[in-house]
Amino acid sequence: MPRLSADARHRVAFVLNGRAVEGQAEPRMLLTDFLRHVLGMTGTHVGCEHGVCGACTVEIDGVPARACLMLAVQADGAILRTVEGLAPEPGRLSLLQQAFRRHHALQCGFCTPGILMSLDNYLRDNPDPREDDVRIFLTGHLCRCTGYVPIVAAALDAAARLREMKETQT
C-alpha cells in the first residue's frame, strides 16, 4: 500500500467497464462519491452508506462489493464494473435487464443497479440456481418497492435464458 497524505488529493486510476479512467481524490473520499461525482457515473446509487442496503454494489476485480464501504484510493489499479457496463450497447439490454423489465422487477429503480450487479455475477457462477438459493442470495439487498417476488422471478427467468443461449452457442 502506498503511503497517502490525508490533506492531499491523489491520482486514482482504474479500468471501469472496459475503459481506463482516472481522477483526483482525497484519501477519505468514498468510492461511491468518486464514481458518481468525480467520474459522473451516477448509475451506482447510495442508499445507506453503512453497507446494509446494497444499492451501491459494484464488481471489483470480479467480485461484488459495496462501493460505500470502500475508499476511492483503494480501487486504484483495479478492474471495476458498474451498472452502466451491463448492457451490450446503447439501446439494447442484457438478458438479465430484459428479464427485470418483463417481470416488473423494479419500480423506483433505486436499488436496482446494485441488485443487477450482484445477480449478474451470481448467475455466472450459478447458472441453474434453485428459487431458495436466489432468495438467500438476495438477502444482501434491500428493495422497498417490489416485495422481491418479481426480482426472484426475473433472476430465475434470466438464468433459464442464459442457459438456453449457452446451449445454442455450444
Write out the residues near other proteins by the rule CB under 8 A.
26, 28-29, 36, 41-50, 52-53, 55, 82-84, 86-87, 93, 97, 100-102, 104, 106-113, 116, 134-136, 138-139, 141-152
Closest distance of CB 163 from other proteins, Å: 21
CB of 36 to other proteins, least distance (A): 7
CA distances to 10, 56, 65, 75, 82 from 62, in Å: 25, 16, 9, 13, 11
Cβ of residue 141: shortest distance to other proteins, in angstroms?
8
Where are the strands (E) in 67-105, listed by range? 79-81
Query: Given the complex with other proteins, which of 91 and 170 has the nearer CB atom?
Result: 91
What is the H or E stretch that residue 162 is in? Answer: helix 149-169
Task: State which residue, 149 or 165, has the beta carbon closest to other proteins.
Answer: 149
User: Which pairing describes strands 79-81 and 10-16: parallel, antiparallel, or unpaired?
Assistant: parallel
Per the structure block, which three cell numbers stand in for 62?
A: 470480479
Question: To the nearest whole angstrom, how small is the minimum distance from the Cβ of residue 64 to other proteins?
Answer: 16
Give the shortest CB-4-to-other proteins separation in angstroms.
16
Nearer to other proteins, 91 or 169 (CB): 91
Q: Which is nearest to 128 in space by CA: 103, 168, 162, 86? A: 162
Nearer to other proteins, 77 or 136 (CB): 136
The residue written with cell numbers 418483463 in the block is 102
Q: Kindly tell me which of 78 and 99 has the beta carbon lying closer to other proteins.
A: 99
Question: Position of cell 433472476?
Answer: 155
